[in-house]
A and B are shown apart, each in its own frame.
Chain A
Amino acid sequence: MELQASYIQIVALALFTIGLAVTLTRRNVFFVLMGIELALNAVNLSLIGFAKTLPAAASVAGQILPLFTIAVAAAEACVGLAMIILIFKSQESVDIDNYSNMKG
């Protein structure tokens, strides 16, 4: 038994699914944010896993792209938390169902 390339993808898929579930089912806004981070991590893992299946020149992209993903995630967390603070000030709640202003 050796480590197979598809194992990595399966772990990544599991993590992504859990991240998605956290984002969509939990009503606490911090969990929503954490779910997004988890999903991003899963994508990073997937990228690195796929990079391992490519020949030398092509695989470099898989090593570089996670760095950018991490940077974007940092920016996203930064803005997201600022928005949470802003909304929290007016709503006094961390329940996203209370945030919903999209009622038709």
Chain B
Amino acid sequence: MIPLWLIPLFPLVGTIVLAIIALSSSDSKQGPAESITGAVAVLFPILSFLSVVTLSVGMPVEGIRGTIGTWIDTAAIQVNIGFLFDGLSRVMLLFITGIGSLIAIYSVGYMHKDRSFARFFAYINLFLFSMTILVLGDSLLLTFLGWEGVGLCSYLLIGFWHTDLKNTKAGNKAFIVNRVGDVGFLLGMLCLVSIGGSALLSYDALNAWLLNALSLGSISNAMPLLSLAGLLFFFGCTGKSAQIPLLTWLPDAMAGPTPVSALIHAATMVTSGVYLLARLSNLFVLIPAVLNIVLFVGLLTAFWAAIAGLFQNDIKKVLAYSTISQLGYMFMAAGVAAFDVSIFHVFTHAFFKAALFLGAGAVIHSLTGEQDMRRMGGLLKKMPLTSLVMIFGFLAIIGFPGFAGFWSKDLILERLYVSGPMGPYVYAIALLTAVITAVYMGRLIIMTFFGKYRGSKENEAHIHEAPASMLIPMLLLSVGSAFAGFLWAGLIPGAEFFREMLAPVVGAAQSYAMLGHTAAHLSPWIFAALGTLAAIIGMLIAWYLFMRPVPEAKGGSEPQGFGASWTFAFDKLHEYVGIIPTKVVAWLLDVVVNTIIMKAQWLTGGIIEILGDGIRAFQVRKVRLQAALSFIGMALITILVLIYGGLL
């Protein structure tokens, strides 16, 4: 049995090695040798992936736990550095390190001839380290460490091409909006600590405590604080997973290199909010009110982002809004206590969204940086393999029967329907969202690969299929997006591998949430048929609406008119709720500090200066005389002491 800490150790070593390479080559004009750097960059994620696979094979049902030492040891807080490898973290780690390795291979081709080649891979390895820590940590505090680490890497990678002010601003925005959510996470941890001390930060201890309190009936005393904690944790998740209200950073985050968008802003980091919900499932099922909020927010986000996706012209922005929308689906599933299904959607989504992003990256790469879909078109014949990958991803995301997204989305819809009295309405909106998903994704595929080429002549000359290092990961991911769903194919009896894998972690919570519900007896085939119908209707609408000549592109790729006001609604909200009040307070403080306090300082200083000038006239020049005078002072003090000491 290999130790658990090897999994995060490999990317950490990779980070250090690559950082040394990047620093040592910072003065040379050429940059480091790409072959060696690329080999190092790919090797360590793969090693990490292999150790995850090795551990997964022999994992006992209850998971593996390993503590490597004490982290914080004070009177108030004791936390160990411990790792927890169970069904949930196994799934997450498998696709984090697996897709991470594939994207690292892809990036070797994508970042070819970039001056900061080594720096890029140092960040990627640091990201994988933080992400594995996030998922492996056995306490909330360690998860928070990884949580902050991935936020940092996200910031670094969004602003990777930092000579462009736009990218830097996008990075800042992502970082700051994430910080707002992180406050929720921190306060949630404080709530737990105030309930039962720092021991509750450990997941095992928290679950045991909840179980104990539930059986003793003493849970109702802690209920207000627990609800607050759950709400705050959910607020933290909305920041990291780009849900309403903290979702505006994700579309802007597309300023980073495309492999980063695929890895961090589609497949792994943004799903850590869903991971946290599933990890704390035992807490959340006790507070159904908060779960309802989760459901509502997920529903709203999924619907809003799907419509916003309709108006985007930038190919990566469409994918960004579809990511937000799919994350909304995951939150919806978590909101009806179907944590295993939401993790399953995380899993399939990681494959098809990574495939879509990498395909988009290949398109952008061959068009030398063009991202506006209005200047694409007709690429099907010129890049057949890339088109194939994209179309596979497309079929998966809209839920075409047999593809990965079909199985997971179908399960989510089914669980939504049977969740309670509100179920059918929620189901209807989610199904409508699925139709819209098919429309905007169909628009993306049609504008990119069908019709006639509309871009510039010089770009057309060298449109080419991507190099092998980019194609192979894309093809592997497209295979994943075709077949990953069969791990839990609801329609096929016995194909429930995924559910069984997660059952030890979230099963108890889900059966608790289902107490008192009478499961509606509807055939799963009806849901499957309705889902398929939604996908096909959406495709037909897209075919009807967009299979026509596209007006010539003018100006930037930003949406105009209604599309713009819909897209930037939450940016405006942030401005009025957060930014403008802060600016007013800052202005007020500026006035107070600069005028009032500064004037007071000047006044005080002036008075002291005048006094000092006056007193200087009395100064004695001889040191001996000064000493003598001080002895007289001492004598006076002695007299005082003698008087009050009772001797005089």
Contact = CB atoms under 8 A, between A and B. Distances in A.
In the complex they form, whether A and B have CB atoms below 8 Å apart is answered with yes
Interface of A: 20, 23-25, 96-97, 100, 102-104
Contact of A104 (B619, B624, B627, B628): B619
Contacts of B623: 96, 100, 102
B627 A24 contact: yes
Contact of B621 (A23, A25, A104): A104
B635 to A, nearest CB: 12
A25 B619 contact: no
B622 A100 contact: yes
B616 interface: yes
A16 to B, nearest CB: 12
Nearest to B627: A24
B624 A25 contact: yes
Contacts of A20: 631
Given A24-B627, A24-B628, A97 B616 contact: no
| Chain B CB within 10 A, most for which of A24, A97, A100, A103 | A24
Given A23-B627, A104-B621, 5 more contacts: A24-B627, A97-B622, A100-B622, A102-B621, A103-B621
| Chain A CB within 10 A, most for which of B616, B622, B631 | B622
Contacts of A103: 621
Interface in B616-643: 616, 619, 621-624, 627-628, 631
Contacts, number: 19
A97 B623 CA distance: 8
19 contacts: A20-B631, A23-B627, A24-B624, A24-B627, A24-B628, A24-B631, A25-B624, A96-B623, A96-B624, A97-B622, A100-B621, A100-B622, A100-B623, A102-B621, A102-B623, A103-B621, A104-B616, A104-B619, A104-B621
A97 B626 CA distance: 13
Nearest to A104: B619
B634 to A, nearest CB: 11
B interface, how many residues as a size bin? under 10
A36 to B, nearest CB: 12
Contacts of A96: 623-624
A24 to B, nearest CB: 5
Contacts of B616: 104
Chain A's interface: helix, strand, loop or mixed, by majority?
Answer: helix
Contacts of A97: 622
A104 B627 CA distance: 16
A102 B616 CA distance: 13
Interface in B71-122: none
A104 B619 CA distance: 7
Contacts of B627: 23-24
B628 to A, nearest CB: 6
B185 to A, nearest CB: 56
A100 B624 CA distance: 10
Nearest to B617: A104
- List the 8 closest A-B pairs by CB distance, nearest first: A104-B619, A24-B624, A24-B627, A103-B621, A24-B628, A104-B616, A100-B623, A102-B623
Nearest to B619: A104
Nearest to B616: A104
B358 to A, nearest CB: 74
Interface in B163-221: none
A20 B634 CA distance: 13
A13 B380 CA distance: 107
Contacts of A102: 621, 623
Contacts of B619: 104
A17 to B, nearest CB: 10
B622 to A, nearest CB: 7
Contacts of A24: 624, 627-628, 631
A104 B618 CA distance: 10
Nearest to B625: A24
A97 B621 CA distance: 10
A103 B627 CA distance: 15
A25 B621 CA distance: 15
Nearest to B618: A104
A97 B624 CA distance: 9
Contacts of A23: 627
A104 B626 CA distance: 13
A93 B622 CA distance: 17
Interface in B473-503: none
| Chain B CB within 10 A, most for which of A25, A103, A104 | A104
| Chain A CB within 10 A, most for which of B616, B624, B628 | B624
A96 B623 CA distance: 9
A13 B619 CA distance: 31
B490 to A, nearest CB: 86
Nearest to B621: A103
A74 B628 CA distance: 26
Nearest to A97: B622
Interface in B152-172: none
A97 B619 CA distance: 16
A1 B619 CA distance: 52
A101 to B, nearest CB: 10
Contacts of A25: 624
Contacts of B621: 100, 102-104
